[in-house]
Structure 1
């Protein structure tokens, strides 16, 4: 299996025509398997897709120095970005070919400070997948310590062509 990689330029991203022929789950699995490029933000934020199943998505990542706020803590935006990515991708796994989604709103609750260098897993699961909206919930948990660092939820709009 090829190694997963983020897009480094617009030319790395698959065309709309290519994506439209795949179900959301097929698209997400193609990224995990390294057959197509993943989102460029994954490189910037130091996380990657870990596992994709119908209605579920898991990412793993590590906040580093460049993700710190002026006080020296991991910026809340890092937690939010990882959660938004996993939550949205869990919704994507439920979509038929040709459909898309966008985040309508999301909420993040930080439950404890995350130290740079701690590997975490963000796991999201769809709670509702309807005709025009979907709702998902997720957590960020330390891989080695098992501690809960954040929770989140989202509502996404389903876009049909």
Structure 2
């Protein structure tokens, strides 16, 4: 039996709830991308992160690097890796257009897997963008694309419920 191990660390600073109530969503997402606020621990667990120059109103880009730690029994990258990247990118795109104090949650997530991501695929880019911004429901779409080969691996949509700020 061959065993491997993987270690990683993450920024475990507690988030100041007052910031969330006083800053618009885009500022919060930009602060996370810059490292001024801690990224969610899930980002370190999966090896993904926001690209600072790719955060704008209604749109964000993540990058993630698949590897042996996210394989399914067939030896290809588990679909949950792409689904998590898509959910994160689309949710953060929604977050960028929220006013201070507002929150959101994913109501539904649909992912279409177009081709397998292989363990040596290299970095993938995931763009999330809002395609309809309603008062209580927002719709976003996302694409998982190989950074080097430009191949489209997965496409997704999500609906997010928005709770107004105070």
Tell me what 1:63 maps to.
66
Match 1:123 to one of 121, 124, 127: 127
TM-score when scaled to structure 1?
Answer: 0.92
1:110 equivalent among 103, 113, 131? 113
Q: CA RMSD in A?
A: 1.2
Pairing 1:154–2:155 present: no
C-alpha deviations, 1:30-88, integer Å up to 9, x for none?
01111110111001111100121000010001111010011211001001000000000
Contiguous gaps of at least 5 residues in structure 2: 1-8
Q: Distance in 2 between matches of 1:7 and 1:74?
A: 23
Superposition misfits of 4+ residues, deviation over 4 angstroms? none
The answer to whether the aligner puts 1:81 opposite 2:93 as a matched pair is: no
Q: 1:13·1:36 contact (CA, 8 Å) conserved in 2?
A: no
Mapped partners of 1:90, 1:146: distance in 2 = 21
Structure 1 unaligned regions, length at least 5: 1-5
Q: 2:101 aligns with which of 73, 98, 107?
A: 98
Structure 2 match to 1:145: 149
SS at match of 2:62: strand
Residue 16 of structure 2 corresponds to residue 31 of structure 1: no
CA distance in 2, matches of 1:105, 1:7: 28
Secondary structure at the aligned position of 2:81 is classed as helix
Please give the per-residue CA displacement for 1:70-126, whole angstroms capped at 9, x wherever unaligned.
121100100100000000000000100010100000111110111124111000110
